[in-house]
Amino acid sequence: MAFQPIVDIQRRTIFAYEALVRGTEQESAGDILGQITEESRSAFDQSCRIKAMILAQQLGIASQRALLSVNFMPGANYSAVDCFRRTVQAAEWTGFPLTSLMFEISEMESLNDTDRLRAIASEYRRHGLTIALDDFGAGNSGLNLLADLDVQVLKLDGRLVRGIDTQPRAEEIVRSTSAMANRLGVQIVAECVETQAEVDILLDCGITLMQGYLFAKPTFESLPEITWPKEPVQQRHATALKLASGLSSVA
């Protein structure tokens, strides 16, 4: 596993660390996932979950009050109860707290059995775990899944985020999605953030949770150092007004 942080720009804290599949020689996720068959999918999904929890416990992720975000494979042949039971067993075996887990369901996955997926998500939520819908905006069923599943986090697909400062249509879509999510009580994470200009637009859209190379690249079996961007223009302006107000009251 490699780990990449999801940061809260406003608070300058870590919201979560996403566990990303790697080979033992640091082969890419694509190389590893390409070897998974339908027959091995469930066992692979469980093995990834256990490995991520082991490393997260060793690295002290929960003690940072950050979530461990793991990718859930909807095609794995689990019932809702069995899926949760396996997760509980993994948590007990590794010592990692259940309530510090966030499961990411990719919109790009083939989701043929939404009733089963809904049952699994509900079972996890009933026990206090966090559910995220990944790659939102990239697939064909994003709004349907958002309506069907009790998710707490939406992760915007990187294609909506990259270059958003020069893409007015993408900006309007993200701004509208952020407003909708706010009304639903759902948090938004912007993925693939790489520039300060993107940060400024995302903040203006009301999005403070971000993930991308601007902050840290994934690091193998370790937690990366985070590069915090400069204070955004809007925040600098607000800080200046606050200081000016304070000086006036002192005078």
Q: Reduced to 3 states, what is the DSSP secondary structure of residue 226? A: coil
Pairing of strands 13-20, 2-8: antiparallel
Amino acid (one-letter) located at 9: I
| Among 104, 157, 154, residue whose Cα is nearest residue 135 | 157
Contacts of residue 110, defined as CB under 8 A and 6 or more positions apart, other chains included, come to 74, 75
Q: C-alpha angle 181/183/189, rounded to 5°?
A: 25
| Nearest by Cα to 158 from 4, 2, 1 | 4
Answer yes or no: 191 catalytic.
yes
Catalytic residue from among 191, 194, 198, 231: 191
Residues classed as catalytic: 191
